[in-house]
Amino acid sequence: MSKIAFLGLGGMGARMAANLIKAGHAVTVWNRSPGPVAGLVAQGATAAPSPRAAAEGAEFVLAMVADDIASRAVWLDGETGALAGLAPGALAIECSTISPAWAGEMVAAVTGAGAAFLEAPVVGSLPQAQEGKLIILAGGDAVAYAQAQPALAPLASAIHHVGPVGRGAVLKLAVNSLLGIQLAAWAEMMGFLGKAGFDGPAALDILATLPVASPAAANYARMMLAGDFAVRFPVDLMAKDFRYATHGADAVKADTPVADATLGVLERAAEAGFGADNVSALIRLYTVQ
């Protein structure tokens, strides 16, 4: 059993923390809003008043938050940040989808404080988080990767060591970009088919059997046609990932015209008032007059 701090109890983080508790670890949790904390305490976690307090005495400190800004606050806030609570030899694990640039800043800050760092962004959504079947894309040195296994194993069906810090962020952004590009295209084409007189579900029943349809995209297309916009992956969050991806591509002089165009679609959806909806709401750009 390890002493683990978990910071950030959104839909993904709460499920991940619960799996660490189920695995027998001593888990201390913190969240910006108190609501999710009570549910984890009822499952056996200990509540902490700040990230710093949660990190004190922990062997592993994991964070799962929305973006670079939230990550910076959780780790580096001068009064409450977890970095100040990390013991020498502890391992900081950032599971959030962050930019490669911020991952580089993080590893410098954490190792400078005498602790170790691993980025471990996850692939999967709420069902995979619930079942402990996420895919983890770990970036860091081999020692940190090996050290992290007890904390990561209860969360994942597969853990891939993809290289040094920064590579995990890049690969996760590529994954989300590939998904977002598909969903933007599906929303556009389903809108086109509907206006051309096709019955949407009947057309999708055919398209979903063809090699052009990935299982994930077909699933989101079904949500689109059903008007199911309950949040799994909000438009605003996907747009954030595309901004990180395109900025990261610019940094290495990679050309990403399709990703740039998809970011434009996501921003258009946000401007139309759909930013807090699930990304399946992209269909509303083509069906709402």
| pTM of the predicted structure, to 2 decimals | 0.96
Q: Is there a single domain that holds both residue 138 and residue 212? A: no
Domain containing residue 146: CATH number: 3.40.50.720
When divided into structural domains, the chain yields a total of 2
Q: Is there a single domain that holds both residue 150 and residue 179? A: no
Q: What is residue 278's DSSP assignment?
A: B
DSSP-derived pairing of the beta strands 122-123 and 134-139: antiparallel
Q: Are 54 and 74 in contact (CB under 8 A)?
A: no
Tell me, what's the pLDDT at 288? 58
Q: Is there a single domain that holds both residue 124 and residue 266? A: no
Give the Cα separation of 118 and 35 in Å (integer). Answer: 28
Final residue of a domain: which of 148, 165, 182?
Answer: 165
Final residue of a domain: which of 127, 144, 165?
Answer: 165
Q: Is there a single domain that holds both residue 149 and residue 185? A: no
Final residue of a domain: which of 120, 136, 165?
Answer: 165
Q: Is there a single domain that holds both residue 231 and residue 92? A: no
Residues with catalytic function: 172
Q: How far apart are the first and last CA of the chain?
A: 56
Q: Is there a single domain that holds both residue 23 and residue 85? A: yes
* Element housing 159 (H / E): strand 156-163
**Other CB atoms within 10 Å distance of the CB of residue 180:** 24
Q: What is the pLDDT of residues 229-273, one digit of tens each?
A: 999 999 999 999 999 999 999 999 999 999 999 999 999 999 999
Q: Is there a single domain that holds both residue 118 and residue 260? A: no
Q: Is there a single domain that holds both residue 224 and residue 138? A: no
Q: Is there a single domain that holds both residue 127 and residue 179? A: no
Tell me, what's the pLDDT at 93? 98
Q: Is there a single domain that holds both residue 222 and residue 278? A: yes
Domain containing residue 248: CATH number: 1.10.1040.10
Tell me, what's the pLDDT at 289? 46
Q: Domain of 159?
A: 3-165
Mean pLDDT in consecutive groups of 10 residues from the start of the chain, 289 residues = 97 98 98 95 98 98 98 97 96 98 98 97 96 98 98 98 98 98 98 97 97 96 97 96 98 98 98 98 87
Q: What is the pLDDT of residues 163-190, one digit of tens each?
A: 999 999 999 999 999 999 999 999 999 9
Q: Is there a single domain that holds both residue 84 and residue 157? A: yes
Q: Is there a single domain that holds both residue 125 and residue 193? A: no
Q: Are 148 and 93 in contact (CB under 8 A)?
A: yes
Residue that the structure tokens 């909000």 belong to: 234
Establish how many alpha carbons lie within 13 A of residue 267's alpha carbon, considering only the half-sphere containing its beta carbon. Answer: 10
